[in-house]
Amino acid sequence: MKSLEKVPVRIFANDSDVSVAVAHRIREIILAKQASGRQAVLGLATGHTPVKVYKELIRMHREEGLDFSNVVTFNLDEYWPIEREALQSYYRWMHENLFDSVNIPAENIHIPRGDVSENEIDQHCRAYEEAIAAAGGIDIQLLGIGRSGHVGFNEPGSRKSSKTRRIHLDVVTRRDAASDFFGEENVPEMAITMGVGSILAARELCLLAFGEHKAPIVKRAVEGDISDSVAASYLQEHPNATIFLDEAAAASLTRMSKPWLVGRCKWDDKLKRSAVIWLSQEIQKPILMLTDEDYSENGLYDLIRECKGSYHLNIDVFRYLMKTITGKPTGENDKQKVLVFSPHPDDDVICMGGSIMRMIERGHEVHIAYMVSGCLSVFDHDVERYAEFVREFGEIFGLPQDSEVIDKQVIQFLRSKKPGHVDTLEVQKIKGLIRRKEAVDAAKFCGLSENQTHFLELPFYNTGKVQKLSISNADVKAVLDILNELQPTVIFAAGDMSDPHGTHRLCLEAVLKAFDEYVAGGNAKPELWLYRGAWQEWSPEQIERAVPMAPDELKKKRYAIFRHQSQKDRAMFPGPYDSREFWQRSEDRNKTTAQTYDSLGLPQYYALEAFVRYPLGRSAQWKDELETVKEE
Ligand code: F6R
């Protein structure tokens, strides 16, 4: 196989498997150093990516007695200026996510200080480098990668020889951090970071990346040229660097997206479809017009040789895609009991509002289960307005009310609240209630009655913070309860593995675990279909069901989304990649899918909602297939 990858890459089915493998490697180093009576020097990263590595290390410490007393740590970076106690400081983050739960001696922990004064910075950075050298250098350095290509906070323009220093954060990085700080304007403009040179000096580098939002930058770092515009590309020059990816982050690598360009393929139906669709899009010709020459000239000679020419191949793929188009979202005429799992109280209408209305129209019994309260994404000013309303409403109609709760615990609290501070329980409840009422309103607009809406309030979400808990038995039980209560024949769930805060991913984890238990409990197995969240859409080779919408239907869907008034005009967490409103993204996405189908030579529709069927049992198989190392 001719590889375009310039650094060793290991791809796993999911982030948990990657994290366990990396934690094992760290344990190996700690134990080897212990055996020779030396210290293990770990370079550590913060952010969403390494969380599960730290969880696994904590587990090893608790359950296997892994001893950290010989461990010395150096963190990559810290915001500047920031107080150590600030909610978003990396100092605090590291203690909460690792240091408080293992026995690393406090004096062995090093994190750049965000609270040094301007004129102390240079001296502090020099001392940081000296401390790394005095510890004998870093044995293994963990790295994440930012969408700007940064490692540590080495933003575009960072030189290969750079050392620990203060740096201005890139606009993309600040946008990505916006939700942690409750608004881009609250994100510090600077940070102190180890340099590219400090990182490359480590004896071993492990860069981890998860989620499809990382796929484009991973491709540039792995397959692109070494350049200071993508600091992670410098890893290509390191003698012992490995990039660990989950399948989503690996998706843009050529061996994953267009394997036929890098070697011989085992042509199964799915791969054939991908190749035909790719070719059709690449040379902008409808599928049925592709010729043998088109295939051979674009690296697909192998495929038409295997298929004995393009004629039947084109027809097979065309027919397959034609069959995905259906006005029946359940695929059935018979009345079905449908359960739609909506992570937040608006994903249902944003992502499959057209199909929900269609199913109701066709007489199916549709229920929607909202999985989390969504209280985190309500603006404080909205709560204040509602609280004032309730108070004055009570006064007008002489209703008994505890105005101290409204005054002190709501209005006064909100007026003195600092960005990012956790809401009181009362405020969280009000925010949840606002979203709940909007969800019921939108569901009614679609044609459901209130008793067809269900609010699961999964506990993993209820931290009051952006950071969530892991999925526990209580979360799975709540999902299982609703399955047992409703006994659906068809289920829809959000198949997102990379939404900004991981809420959708966690919700899907809860659904899949409960689904397995439900089926194992002897219940008839419902069909499970996945829709995409607000952030992305299935690609044409993935789509297994495409439900057309006429212009008026799309407009109606828009009005359903509008019922989520607290998310209208400006959402609290729009995600870093797209500043449009959810209804705009949703319409654009549905119209784009229709245009894509059209350009492939399929019938022209105004808009399409897309679904894939949950491929049960595939994860385990992916693992074997995907855990491959770069081949020279
Ligand atoms: C964190 C750090 C950064 C992050 C990167 C990815 O210490 O140095 O380079 O690793 O921004 O962040 P997440 O993991 O949050 O996507």
What are the tens digits of pLDDT across the range 515-544? Answer: 999 999 999 999 999 999 777 889 999 999
Nearest Cα residue to 213 out of 259, 252, 155: 252
Q: 22-54: per-residue pLDDT in tens?
A: 999 999 999 999 999 999 999 999 998 999 999
Q: What is the mean pLDDT of residues 303-321?
A: 96
Asked whether residue 354 falls in the same domain as residue 306, the answer is no
Asked whether residue 359 falls in the same domain as residue 450, the answer is yes
Taking the CA atoms of 350, 356, 358 and 360 in sequence, report the sign of the dihedral they define: negative
Q: Which domain holds residue 501?
A: 337-378+419-626
Helix (H, G, I), strand (E, B), or coil: what is residue 167? strand
Asked whether residue 300 falls in the same domain as residue 247, the answer is no
Asked whether residue 463 falls in the same domain as residue 482, the answer is yes
152 lines ligand 1 (CB under 6 A): yes
49 lines ligand 1 (CB under 6 A): yes
Number of domains, the chain:
3
Residue 402 carries which side chain, given as an amino acid letter? D
CA separation for the pair 77, 71 (Å, rounded): 19
Partner residues linked to 209 by β-bridges: 245
Question: Which residue's alpha carbon is at the smallest distance from atom 4 of ligand 1?
Answer: 144
Residue 309 carries which side chain, given as an amino acid letter? G
What pLDDT is attached to residue 500? 56
Asked whether residue 181 falls in the same domain as residue 280, the answer is no
What pLDDT is attached to residue 626? 35
What pLDDT is attached to residue 625? 37
More confident residue, 510 or 495: 510
Asked whether residue 302 falls in the same domain as residue 181, the answer is no
Q: 126-158: per-residue pLDDT in tens?
A: 999 999 999 999 999 999 999 899 999 999 999
- 98-129: b (≥16 Cβ within 10 Å) or e: bbebbebeeebbbbbbbebeeeebeebbeebb
Q: By percentage, how much of the chain surpasses pLDDT 70?
A: 95
Residues 172 and 147 sit within 8 Å (Cβ to Cβ): yes
Asked whether residue 119 falls in the same domain as residue 238, the answer is yes
Is there a domain that residue 332 lies in? no
Partner residues linked to 244 by β-bridges: 10, 208
146 lines ligand 1 (CB under 6 A): yes
CA separation for the pair 55, 184 (Å, rounded): 29
Q: 414-472: per-residue pLDDT in tens?
A: 999 887 788 988 899 999 999 999 999 999 999 999 999 999 999 999 887 777 788 99
Asked whether residue 294 falls in the same domain as residue 197, the answer is no
Q: Which of 372-376, 388-392, 627-631 has the lowest mean pLDDT?
A: 627-631
User: What is Dmax (Cα atoms) for the chain?
Assistant: 83
Q: How far is the CA of 48 from the centre of ligand 1 (A)?
A: 7
144 lines ligand 1 (CB under 6 A): yes
Phi, psi of 491 (to 5 degrees): -125, 140
CA separation for the pair 511, 338 (Å, rounded): 15
Check whether the bond before 112 is cis (ω within 30° of 0).
no
Helix (H, G, I), strand (E, B), or coil: what is residue 326? coil
Is there a domain that residue 235 lies in? yes
Q: What is the mean pLDDT of residues 154-182?
A: 92
Among 192, 222, 254, which residue terminates a domain? 254
Q: How far is the CA of 474 from the centre of ligand 1 (A)?
A: 30
- Tell me how far apart the terminal alpha carbons of the chain are, to the nearest angstrom: 7
Q: What is the mean pLDDT of residues 212-222?
A: 94
Asked whether residue 216 falls in the same domain as residue 311, the answer is no
303 lines ligand 1 (CB under 6 A): no
Q: Report residue 499's pLDDT band, with 50, 70 and 90 as the boundaries.
A: low
CA separation for the pair 366, 356 (Å, rounded): 8
Question: Which residue's alpha carbon is at the smallest distance from atom 10 of ligand 1?
Answer: 144
Active site residues: 155
Query: Residue 604 has what DSSP assignment?
Result: P
Q: How far is the CA of 50 from the centre of ligand 1 (A)?
A: 9
Is there a domain that residue 348 lies in? yes
Does position 631 have pLDDT exceeding 60, yes or no?
Answer: no
CA separation for the pair 217, 559 (Å, rounded): 36
Asked whether residue 344 falls in the same domain as residue 304, the answer is no
For residue 631 the two structure tokens come to 């081949």
Is there a domain that residue 315 lies in? yes
Is there a domain that residue 397 lies in? no
Q: Report residue 575's pLDDT band, with 50, 70 and 90 as the boundaries.
A: low
Residues 498 and 212 sit within 8 Å (Cβ to Cβ): yes
Phi-psi region of 35 (alpha: psi -120 to 50; beta: other; left: phi over 0): alpha
Q: What is the CATH number of the domain that holds 239?
A: 3.40.50.1360
CA separation for the pair 253, 250 (Å, rounded): 6
Is there a domain that residue 74 lies in? yes
Among 324, 347, 369, which residue terminates a domain? 324
Q: 75-85: per-residue pLDDT in tens?
A: 999 999 999 99
Q: How far is the CA of 522 from the centre of ligand 1 (A)?
A: 44
Nearest Cα residue to 495 out of 480, 484, 511: 511
What's 304-317 look like in SS3?
HHHCCCHHHHHHHH
Asked whether residue 457 falls in the same domain as residue 579, the answer is yes
CA separation for the pair 187, 178 (Å, rounded): 6
Q: How far is the CA of 169 from the centre of ligand 1 (A)?
A: 12
Q: What is the mean pLDDT of residues 201-223?
A: 95
Q: What is the mean pLDDT of residues 377-386?
A: 92
Nearest Cα residue to 41 out of 133, 113, 162: 133
What pLDDT is attached to residue 435? 97
Helix (H, G, I), strand (E, B), or coil: what is residue 280? helix
Is there a domain that residue 393 lies in? no
Q: What is the pTM of this model?
A: 0.83
For residue 81 the two structure tokens come to 């200026």
Residues 238 and 200 sit within 8 Å (Cβ to Cβ): yes
151 lines ligand 1 (CB under 6 A): yes
For residue 305 the two structure tokens come to 């040789």
Q: What is the mean pLDDT of residues 367-373?
A: 97
Q: At what angle do helices 425-446 and 551-562 cross, to 10 degrees?
A: 160
Q: 79-112: per-residue pLDDT in tens?
A: 999 999 998 999 999 999 999 999 999 999 999 9
Calculate the average pLDDT of the chain.
Answer: 92
Give the position, in ligand 1's atom list, of the atom nearest the Cα of 90: 7
Q: 230-271: per-residue pLDDT in tens?
A: 999 999 999 999 999 999 899 999 999 999 999 899 999 999
Is there a domain that residue 50 lies in? yes
CA separation for the pair 358, 176 (Å, rounded): 37
What pLDDT is attached to residue 401? 75
What pLDDT is attached to residue 179? 78
Q: By percentage, how much of the chain surpasses pLDDT 90?
A: 80
Q: What is the mean pLDDT of residues 283-305?
A: 97
Among 197, 222, 254, which residue terminates a domain? 254
For residue 521, give every residue at least 6 positions away whose Cβ sits within 8 Å of its Cβ, in sequence order, or none. Answer: none
DSSP letter for each residue of 327-380: S-TTS-SS--EEEEEESSTTHHHHHHHHHHHHHHHTT-EEEEEE-S--GGGS-H
User: How far, CA to CA in Å, does 245 sit from each of 229, 260, 286, 548?
Assistant: 21, 21, 34, 35
Asked whether residue 498 falls in the same domain as residue 587, the answer is yes
